[in-house]
Amino acid sequence: MGNLRTLLNSWIPGWLKGNWGTRYFGVLGLFADAISQGASESVKAPWLKESTSPNDALALKGRERLLERYPNETNDQYRSRINDAWKAWSDAGGSPSIEGQLHAAGFTDAYVAFDSGREGPRGLPAPYWSQFWVRFPPESGIVVSLTQHLWDGASALWDGAISWQPTNLTKEQLALFAGIINKWKPSDWICRGLIFDFSSELWDGSKSWDGSTQWAGAFELDLT
């Protein structure tokens, strides 16, 4: 038996196997096959490794496994991450989980950095072992640069009023970073801030200063 239409056709008596009899039972079998197929696909829709699993099932499975979808994440990427939920939650509460989720969100090479020698968030004396920062190298995609050089190249003057900051960082990205960090960090860790490495040299090279062409290579954004 391939389907219910075939089964019904085998049941009807010979006197009903004419033109109209076969059409009548064929329509009944067609409806039964459609219902059967719909029920089968509904049952298998949450089975994300099945080829018949629709993409609109991803949001439901993501909420079920507490894995929200990140901006710019493709269906295949999100599906793979949901299927790997067991490993993600097994790693939760540590640096690998924070870093892994940031990478999944598209910020590659971002990593957790510790500095127990710095004072605590409210001036608490060092060492303060539970504080950490999340650092974003230039490869992470956050651009930190200046509109002009700090050094004018012609005099010994340095204009300290010139400021620098991430030029493509949005409020939505900051909210995303904070959400990932708060969700995946251990409860007794404190994230002090975000550190963005400069994407280009700050020194124009026309004057030498401190033997280097780069000065103050990062921008730190406090979170506490």
Q: Are residues 221 and 122 in the same domain?
A: yes
Q: Are residues 127 and 200 in the same domain?
A: yes
Describe the chain by its helix, strand, coil percentages, rounded to 5. 40, 15, 45
Three-state SS for 185-205 is CCCCCEEEEEEEECCCCCCCC
Sign of CA dihedral 22, 24, 28, 34: positive
List, as own/partner pairs, every contact residues 98-103 make where C-beta atoms lie below 8 angstroms and the sequence separation is at least 24, other chains included: 98/134, 98/180, 98/181, 98/184, 98/185, 101/180, 101/183, 101/184, 102/134, 102/177, 102/180
Q: Are residues 141 and 110 in the same domain?
A: yes
Question: Could you tell me if 117 and 133 are in contact, meaning their C-beta atoms sit under 8 angstroms apart?
Answer: no
Q: Are residues 59 and 140 in the same domain?
A: no
Q: Are residues 150 and 100 in the same domain?
A: yes
pLDDT for position 70: 96
Q: Are residues 107 and 67 in the same domain?
A: no
Q: Are residues 5 and 114 in the same domain?
A: no
Q: Are residues 34 and 131 in the same domain?
A: no
Last residue of a domain, one of 25, 58, 84: 84
Degrees, nearest 5: CA angle 58-62-92 = 145
Q: What is the pLDDT of residues 26-68, one digit of tens each?
A: 788 787 777 777 776 666 667 777 777 888 889 989 999 999 9
Q: Are residues 133 and 161 in the same domain?
A: yes
Residue type, 80: S
Residues 6 or more apart whose CB falls under 8 angstroms from that of 36 comprise: 3, 4
Q: Are residues 116 and 201 in the same domain?
A: yes
Q: Is 177 helix (H, G, I), strand (E, B) or coil?
A: helix
pLDDT at 10 over 80: no
pTM over 0.85: no
Domain tally for the chain? 3
Q: Are residues 112 and 138 in the same domain?
A: yes
Q: What is the pLDDT of residues 137-173, one digit of tens each?
A: 988 888 776 555 455 555 555 555 445 667 778 889 9
Q: How far apart are the first and last CA of the chain?
A: 68
Residues spanned by the domain of 79: 47-84
Q: Are residues 22 and 73 in the same domain?
A: no
